[in-house]
């Protein structure tokens, strides 16, 4: 990243804002970091945070606007594309809007990057893209496919397009943790979709590290996946009740857990890679890399990663088949990553304290 001009979409999101902070406040030494978002208020506050850093610039923009992206990518070396619609239920109810942002938006990023001869483009995907059962996961899978195809079909020298596939980022705006915190702060109940639901989890820092590491490892069309622990969401609820209820002045024994049922399109488990992807994946010390099904039409890429552990994977990494963290291990993970560190004062009033959806309230 040293002396590079970097553009981050979704700058106001959890991943985008953390990425910008890491690039500007650590030793990466970028020449410039531009943040784009269509969240006017969030962008204003982010700009205030970096007001005295001449390398930082923030602009209102929507990834649906291809012309704006083309203008903002002039002179850019690296693009981190983190803007997306991420809420499963909202995408399920408004699939066309999800397509406009999560698929057409990716295509706009690709077009603008090619027009401006950007060096590298990293797309942030989701484990919901593996064997998707909902609109959000399906659009993320298409985003990955578009990135891989763009890399495969580009004539001559041009951008390297790669993707990163996240698990659930605990503590992010879209995770269940802020909702559980608010529910506990109010004395309960905690709403649980299903007692056997499991998820791959990672911290915000781990997610951002995946993005930056992927930029250095990316060779084109590859999808990088962090090795992640698995948690049972009921265990997460119980640990949070035990740890946070006394801080909010409540007896943990008095906070009830209410089962409300799964959302439309929601799985009880998640997968890191499909059986088909296993055949073209390699294991690295901290990551897996899934290589393209179709190798470059115009590019011959060797995919020589440093420190390959094996290129013969036998486990597709399904969260229902992996060992889950016990509650002590889960608490250690939460504490090590400062996920439970907030207090009632920073459990904001506009954070919802329920997870029902229209027409499904009990």
Query: Closest Cα partner for 119 from 246, 197, 235, 6?
Result: 6
Tokens of 197: 């639901």
* 3-state DSSP percent of the chain in helix, strand and coil, to 5: 40, 20, 45
Return the SS3 of 119: coil
Give the number of C-alpha atoms closer than 13 A to the C-alpha of residue 278, restricted to the C-beta side: 12
In 3D, which of 54, 47, 63 has the Cα closest to residue 32? Answer: 54
The secondary structure element, H or E, covering residue 34 is strand 32-37
| Token pair listed for 80 | 């981190």
Active-site residue identified among 128, 181, 182, 234: 128
Is 68 a catalytic site residue?
no
User: What is the H or E stretch that residue 23 is in?
Assistant: helix 14-25
| Angle CA 167–270–342, to nearest 5 | 45
Residues that are catalytic: 128
């Amino acid at each position: 990243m040293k002396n590079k001009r970097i553009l981050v979409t979704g700058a106001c999101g959890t991943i985008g804002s953390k990425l910008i902070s890491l690039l500007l406040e650590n030793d990466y030494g970028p020449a410039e970091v531009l943040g784009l978002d269509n969240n006017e208020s969030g962008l204003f506050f982010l700009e205030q945070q970096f007001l005295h850093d001449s390398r930082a610039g923030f602009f209102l923009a929507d990834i649906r606007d291809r012309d704006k992206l083309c203008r903002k990518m002039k002179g850019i070396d690296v693009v981190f594309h983190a803007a997306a619609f991420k809420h499963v239920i909202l995408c399920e109810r408004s699939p066309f809007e999800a397509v406009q942002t999560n698929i057409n938006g990716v295509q706009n990023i690709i077009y603008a990057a090619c027009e401006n001869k950007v060096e590298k483009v990293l797309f942030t995907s989701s484990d919901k893209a593996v064997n998707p059962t909902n609109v959000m996961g399906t659009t993320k899978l298409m985003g990955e496919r578009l990135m891989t195809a763009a890399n495969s079909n580009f004539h001559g020298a041009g951008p390297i397009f790669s993707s990163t596939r996240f698990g659930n980022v605990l503590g992010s705006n879209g995770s269940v943790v802020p909702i559980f915190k608010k529910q506990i702060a109010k004395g309960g109940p905690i709403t649980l979709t299903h007692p056997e639901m499991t998820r791959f989890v990672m911290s915000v820092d781990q997610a951002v590290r995946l993005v930056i590491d992927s930029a250095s490892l990316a060779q084109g069309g590859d999808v990088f996946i962090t090795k992640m622990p698995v948690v049972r969401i009921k265990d997460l609820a119980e640990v949070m009740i035990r740890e946070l209820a006394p801080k909010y002045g409540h007896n943990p024994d008095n906070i009830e857990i209410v089962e409300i049922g799964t959302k439309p399109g929601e799985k009880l488990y998640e997968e890191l890679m499909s059986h088909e992807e296993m055949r073209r994946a390699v294991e690295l010390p901290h990551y897996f890399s899934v290589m393209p099904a179709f190798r470059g039409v115009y590019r011959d890429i060797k995919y020589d990663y440093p420190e390959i552990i094996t290129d013969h994977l036998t486990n597709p990494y399904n969260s229902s088949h992996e060992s889950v963290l016990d509650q002590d291990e889960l608490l250690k993970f939460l504490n090590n990553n400062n996920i439970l560190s907030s207090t009632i004062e920073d459990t904001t009033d506009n954070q919802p304290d329920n997870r029902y959806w229209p027409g499904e309230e009990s």
